[in-house]
Structure 1
Amino acid sequence: MAHFVIYRDRDNFQLNGLDEFAITAQTRPEATCLRVLCGTCEISNSENDEVTIVATNFLESAASENSTLDLSFLDTYQEGITAQDYNEHLKGASESNRIFYDDFLSEITVAACAAENGQGISSFLHIYRAYERISYAFPLIYASKSRDYIGSFDNLKKWLADSKSDGSAGELAFFKKFIDATYEDDEKEATTDFHFLGSDETRRRQFALIRNQILKWRPEDVTPSTIDNQVISVRFDQLHTILLTSRNRYFHQMSGRSDNIKQAAVVDPETFFLVLCRPLLTYVAKLFHDIVIEDMKTPT
Structure 2
Amino acid sequence: MYVSKNKDYNKTYGELQAFFGKDKDGELAFFKRFISTTFQEEDFYKSNLLIDLHLIDIEEIRPVYYKIYLEKLKNRTVGQPTENESMSVQFITFYDFIIELRNRFFHNAKGSWQSNLESTNLLFPDLFFKPLINHGINWISIILFEIIKNDFAKNE
TM-score in terms of structure 2 length: 0.82
Asked if 1:281 corresponds to 2:137, the answer is: yes
* 1:199 CA displacement: 2.3
Asked if 1:290 corresponds to 2:146, the answer is: yes
- Which one has the bigger helix percentage? 2
Q: Percent identity?
A: 26
* 1:200 CA displacement: 2.7
Q: How far apart are the structure 2 equivalents of 1:225 and 1:287?
A: 28
Partner of 1:155: 15
Asked if 1:216 corresponds to 2:74, the answer is: yes
* 1:297 CA displacement: 3.0
Q: How far apart are the structure 2 equivalents of 1:291 and 1:185?
A: 13
**Alignment counterpart, residue 28 of structure 2, candidates 148, 160, 172:** 172
Asked if 1:228 corresponds to 2:83, the answer is: yes
* 1:225 CA displacement: 7.0
Q: How far apart are the structure 1 equivalents of 2:122 and 2:22?
A: 30
Q: Structure 1 unaligned runs (5+)?
A: 1-140
Asked if 1:206 corresponds to 2:65, the answer is: yes
Alignment of 1:12-51 (within 5 A): none
Aligned-residue RMSD, C-alpha? 2.5
* 1:185 CA displacement: 8.0
Q: Using a 3 Å threshold, how does the CA distance of structure 1 residues 189 and 264 change in structure 2: closer, same or farther?
A: farther
Q: How far apart are the structure 1 equivalents of 2:5 and 2:47?
A: 26
Partner of 1:184: 41
Confirm or deny: 8 A CA contact 2:104 2:114 kept in the other structure. Answer: no
Q: Secondary structure at the match of 1:276?
A: helix
Q: How far apart are the structure 1 equivalents of 2:73 and 2:141?
A: 22
The letter for the 1-side match of 2:47 is A
* 1:162 CA displacement: 5.6
* 1:256 CA displacement: 2.9
Confirm or deny: 8 A CA contact 2:19 2:34 kept in the other structure. Answer: yes
Q: How far apart are the structure 2 equivalents of 1:204 and 1:163?
A: 39
Matched residue count: 151
Show CA shifts across 1:132-153 (max 9, x none). xxxxxxxxx2223433222221
Confirm or deny: 8 A CA contact 1:192 1:234 kept in the other structure. Answer: yes
Partner of 1:194: 51
TM-score in terms of structure 1 length: 0.45
Q: Using a 3 Å threshold, how does the CA distance of structure 1 residues 207 and 185 change in structure 2: closer, same or farther?
A: farther
Show CA shifts across 1:254-279 (max 9, x none). 32323212223323101112221111
The letter for the 1-side match of 2:67 is A
The letter for the 2-side match of 1:215 is L
Asked if 1:263 corresponds to 2:116, the answer is: no
Q: Using a 3 Å threshold, how does the CA distance of structure 1 residues 163 and 225 change in structure 2: closer, same or farther?
A: farther
Q: Structure 2 unaligned runs (5+)?
A: none
**Rg larger in structure:** 1
The letter for the 2-side match of 1:250 is F
Q: Using a 3 Å threshold, how does the CA distance of structure 1 residues 174 and 247 change in structure 2: closer, same or farther?
A: same
* 1:163 CA displacement: 6.8
